[in-house]
Chain A
Amino acid sequence: MSDAIAVEGAHKRYGEKRALDGLDLRVRRGAVHGVLGPNGAGKTTAVRILSTLLRPDGGRVEVAGFDVRDEAAEVRRRIGLLGQHAAVDEELGGRQNLEMFGRLHHLGARRSGTRADELLERFGLAGTGRKPVKRYSGGMRRRLDLAACLITDPEVLFLDEPTTGLDPRGRTEVWSAVRSLAAGGTTILLTTQYLEEADQLADRISLVDGGRVVAEGTADRLKDRVGGDRIDVVVRDAGRLGEAARLLGDQVSVDEDRRLLGAPAPDRMGTLSRAVRALEEAGIEAEDIAVRRPTLDEVFLALTGTAPRAHTTTGAGVAA
């Protein structure tokens, strides 16, 4: 049987800007695939092409064995789309929305109604009544949006930054929904800017930048190559930065302006206490010291040897 998603050399240009520049993706049926990349990497463009909203300029793009250009109707029958922005009718209530989408999936009036109630129940929205969606909280809206993708149990589900802008509770809710869908055999492609999210949910991860895949592999393999968590040390005396860096090992990044050192922390607390001790013995004073997850920049640095072209931290990229 063919793969659920097969993309070869997909191209998309907006004027001079190459949003996709030879993107390759292969997702087997039933898998959860993470597309990890900074702002402007081309994640949304890829998802919009896969869900038939946008035509690729070139390359082969197939979903569930159907070409997104020539067999868009077949693709649409088999997919669910959770776009980067909510795709529900803001004026209507939650049930009204789901019932409408059920009818448009040709479930008929009665089954549309029962399906709407089932989904509202499942996503904890049963008590929202007639309230229009524009008065929902961000998390509620995201859950309704997700429910709308699941009216007909799609074969392939696209989730574009499903948790961006949600609070930790909303994020956990979306994560557990994704997990239960994956357990049910749905193929899922999700985009994210967070390594942790891709790591938590995805079997395989494609790292994208500049409209192409720059690294690909299982979450575990990529994490091994990135080297797990990181330790940050802010040194009080800028003059002793070099000396401190040598104490922390041989893969240390140095930010002189902020007097900040960063290093891999493979065994978290062990690394932390060794660093504290080494600095103390050398008489180097640390203003701040902490263990944290690697940032997307560090993932890029570790896997590709360069920072991402479309930058995540400064304002150089496109606002989310």
Chain B
Amino acid sequence: MRTSTAAGPGRIGWALADSWTMTRRELAHWARQPVQPAVALVFPVMLLLMFNYLVGGGRGVDGDNTAFLVPGMLALTMAFGLEGTMLAVTQDLTKGVIDRFRSMPMASGAVLVGRSAADMLQSVAALAVMTGVGHALGWRWHHGPEAAVAAFGLLLLLRFAMLWIGIHLAMVAGRPEMVQAVQILVWPVGFLSNVFASPESMPGRLGAVVEWNPMSATATAVRDLFGNPGGTGGSWAAEHAGLLAVLWPLALVAVFFPLAVGRFARLSR
């Protein structure tokens, strides 16, 4: 009496349903503990204000610092979302409820997809808040709403890629303490980008690294779409920033999504 196929929406349908259930779980956590998601919204705003007023904004670009800084900060916020994701996953994995999920007939990746959906929602909120604050600082987009929407699309694509890297690293690192090590490493990677300064203002080899950084690609592409000043250095990477801003995240997702889901299914087995 081996009945192996479940009736109803089929495998993919159930996987989506399970993922939605797990997304709702994350949203329910926020509803019960609103402080943590609120802090996650305030932190990037604080950084933006700090760099705008205290540090003085972008370097190596003529003209408006704020116009250079805001799109860069949006890209940085998306990339640094990796930390929050990692922390949330490592904390979740230590919880007993994960054992119940794993002993149930649910889609094995649903726990992770739920995490990623919730983080994407959080990122949309973060973008909205930062856009509002940027606007208050005098930042504008100049190429119309369609281009702006495309820019936000690229930003969220970067976030999506960082998210799966974060989930995978969290499972590799295992313990919340290990996350701190990654958090420290994230900062130099973040600053080796064109978020705060144009690559032309950097020594040659460093400038090349900075230009090929996925975050730089997104920042440059987004600046172009918004019509904000950027350091168009004339290098291949800078010229094709739009293409790279799509390919980089897709490539990262193609690598880390299957790694993460596979690792979760084999977790401690």
Alpha-carbon distance A89/B269, docked complex (angstroms): 22
Does B29 lie within 8 Å of A87, measured CB to CB? Answer: no
Q: Say yes or no for B268: interface residue by CB 8 A criterion.
A: yes
Q: Say yes or no for B83: interface residue by CB 8 A criterion.
A: no
Q: Say yes or no for B95: interface residue by CB 8 A criterion.
A: yes
Give which listed residue, B4, B6, B29, contacts A91 with CB less than 8 A: B29
Give which listed residue, B4, B96, B269, contacts A54 with CB less than 8 A: B269
Q: Is the interface of B mostly helix, strand, loop or mixed?
A: helix
Q: Which residue of A has the minimal Cβ distance to B8?
A: A106
With a CB–CB cut-off of 8 A, which chain B residues contact A55? 269
Which A residues between 34 and 64 are near B, CB-CB below 8 angstroms? 51-55
Does A100 lie within 8 Å of B21, measured CB to CB? Answer: yes
Q: Is the interface of A mostly helix, strand, loop or mixed?
A: loop
Given contacts A86-B96, A104-B18, contact A79 B103 (CB under 8 A): yes
Does A54 lie within 8 Å of B268, measured CB to CB? Answer: yes
Does B21 lie within 8 Å of A76, measured CB to CB? Answer: no
Alpha-carbon distance A81/B17, docked complex (angstroms): 23
Does A148 lie within 8 Å of B100, measured CB to CB? Answer: yes
Contact bitstring B92-105, A, C-beta under 8 A = 1, else 0: 00011111111111
Give which listed residue, B25, B98, B103, B269, contacts A92 with CB less than 8 A: B25
| Total B residues in contact with A, Cβ cutoff 8 Å | 29
Contact bitstring B6-20, A, C-beta under 8 A = 1, else 0: 101000001001100
Q: Which residue of A has the minimal Cβ distance to B25?
A: A100
Give which listed residue, B21, B28, B103, contacts A103 with CB less than 8 A: B21
Q: Which residue of B has the minimal Cβ distance to A102?
A: B21
Give which listed residue, B6, B14, B99, contacts A87 with CB less than 8 A: B99
**Given pairs A76-B105, A103-B18, 7 additional interface contacts (CB within 8 A):** A53-B268, A74-B4, A77-B105, A88-B100, A89-B25, A101-B100, A132-B32
**6 pairs of residues in contact across A and B, judged by CB atoms under 8 Å:** A54-B268, A74-B2, A87-B103, A88-B96, A104-B101, A104-B104
Q: Give me the interface of B with A, judged by CB distance under 8 Å.
A: 2, 4, 6, 8, 14, 17-18, 21, 24-25, 28-29, 32-33, 95-106, 110, 268-269
| A-B pairs, 10 with minimum CB distance | A87-B100, A76-B105, A87-B96, A77-B105, A103-B21, A55-B269, A104-B106, A81-B103, A89-B97, A87-B99
